[in-house]
Structure 1
Amino acid sequence: MNTLEHDDYLAMRAGATVLEADSFGEKVLLLTDGTVLKLFRRKRLFSSAAWYPYAQRFADNAAALDRLGIPVPQIIVVVRIPSLARDAVHYHPLVGRTLREICREGIEKDQERELRTAFTRFVIHLHDCGVYFRSLHLGNVVYMPDQQLGLIDIADVRIRASGLSKRQRARNLRRLLGIVGECDWVEVSAIVDGKDDSPIG
């Protein structure tokens, strides 16, 4: 992991748009060149993040998912910023909009039906590939111009050696099922069984 000195960070950050922040500070920055800097803080003094930082997990997961053919952000570099007590991952974002953004902007029923079918197939494919993603929700799935779906915010992805069991598939849906307005996107039986019987097209 490279070290990014404070002056270099300030130069990188100049003119950036804050995409996400919380009470602890900035979390995601859109830089002027169109790339993204995602910052991570260590939440506890003693945690696995001490020896395996979340920024590095994000980058490693991106590489692993890319090998599986799943669209993800393209990593540029992982850095440590001592002056901020943060680690960060610098990457090229996926081009497109999240399913959550599309829903909030409003879509016609036919398009929504098509996207729901595509989402169901995408999740089944993830599970078949052994991808366990506790943060699976519409805000972390991007619909791209080529009509593919991709994943973002992937630091907590776990990839098993084989496809997920029915129990793991069901557990992987828990967060999404608890989100009002998004839980009805989930074809639970189809995803848990790993079979989508909806018509093609």
Structure 2
Amino acid sequence: MQRLDYADYQVLRQGARVIEADGHGEKVLLLPDGNFLKLFRRKRVITSAALFPYAQRFASNTEALRKRDIPCPRILATYRVAEIERDVVHYAPLPGDTLRQLITGAEPPPRALLTQFATFVAGLHERGVYFRSLHLGNVVMTPEGELGLIDIADLRTYPWALRKSLCLRNFQHMLRYEQDRDWLMQDGGLPFFQAYATHAPQRWDSGQLAERLS
């Protein structure tokens, strides 16, 4: 992680459009060249983020995903801007539309998309990827028709397939979002969980899994 003076940061963000902000300030900036700056604030004096900043986690997670052939953003640089107490990741976005965008339209999304997503989730779990913030707004369909992940600071990887408890926790998080839940649980959730169980690293009864999470 590089140290970046505030004056140089101002040059870097010149002409940027604020995509996300909160009461503490800017969080995500879209630069004129189409790349992004994502800012992370350290919320406490003593925190794990001081030892392993979220910007660095974001960068490390992209490397872990690329090793697993999972599409994700491309890191350009990570910075520490001491004057504003922010860690910053500068990255090129993963092109495409989020699944949430794709299922929001006049035409119902094809069932094949549901099956593709279920297979993708099974692949994540098989490759040891636990993405606590996994939801349809963080999954992108690329122009090549592949699924990939964005906003990945909140992600862990393991050298083994996820145990069932983590898989269930992942599903519970996804189902917290009403729009996502309505799509994933269509027909009682059986189409989604049947496709997942077919490719999952663990043996599941898709009917029991759908009933448990309904």
Instruction: Structure 1: give runs of 5+ residues left out of the alignment.
Output: 197-201
Alignment partner, residue 122 of structure 1: 120
Alignment partner, residue 191 of structure 1: 196
Please give the root-mean-square deviation of Cα atoms over the aligned residues, in Å.
Answer: 1.8
Alignment partner, residue 76 of structure 2: 76
Letter in 1 for 2:122: I
Structure 1 residue 190 displacement after superposition: 4.9
Structure 1 residue 77 displacement after superposition: 0.7
Secondary structure (helix, strand or coil) at the match of 2:153 reads coil
Q: Does 1:35 align with 2:35?
A: yes
CA contact (8 A) 1:166 1:192 kept: no
1:153-164 to structure 2, matched below 5 A, reads: 153-164=151-162
Structure 1 residue 188 displacement after superposition: 4.2
Q: How far apart are the structure 1 equivalents of 2:113 and 2:20?
A: 26
Letter in 1 for 2:144: D
Instruction: Structure 2: give runs of 5+ residues left out of the alignment.
Output: 185-191, 205-214
Secondary structure (helix, strand or coil) at the match of 2:179 reads coil
1:50-90 residue CA offsets vs partner (Å, 9 max, x unmatched): 10000000000000100100001000111001111000110
Structure 1 residue 127 displacement after superposition: 0.4
Secondary structure (helix, strand or coil) at the match of 1:181 reads helix
CA contact (8 A) 2:115 2:195 kept: no
Percent identity over paired residues: 51
TM-score (norm 2): 0.85
Large movers: runs of 4+ above 6 Å? none
Q: How far apart are the structure 2 equivalents of 1:185 and 1:169?
A: 19
CA contact (8 A) 1:131 1:164 kept: yes
CA contact (8 A) 1:62 1:74 kept: yes
Q: Which of 130, 134, 140 is equivalent to 1:136?
A: 134
TM-score (norm 1): 0.90
Letter in 2 for 1:33: D
Alignment partner, residue 199 of structure 1: none
Q: How far apart are the structure 2 equivalents of 1:172 and 1:192?
A: 14
CA contact (8 A) 1:170 1:192 kept: no
Q: How far apart are the structure 2 equivalents of 1:160 and 1:6?
A: 37
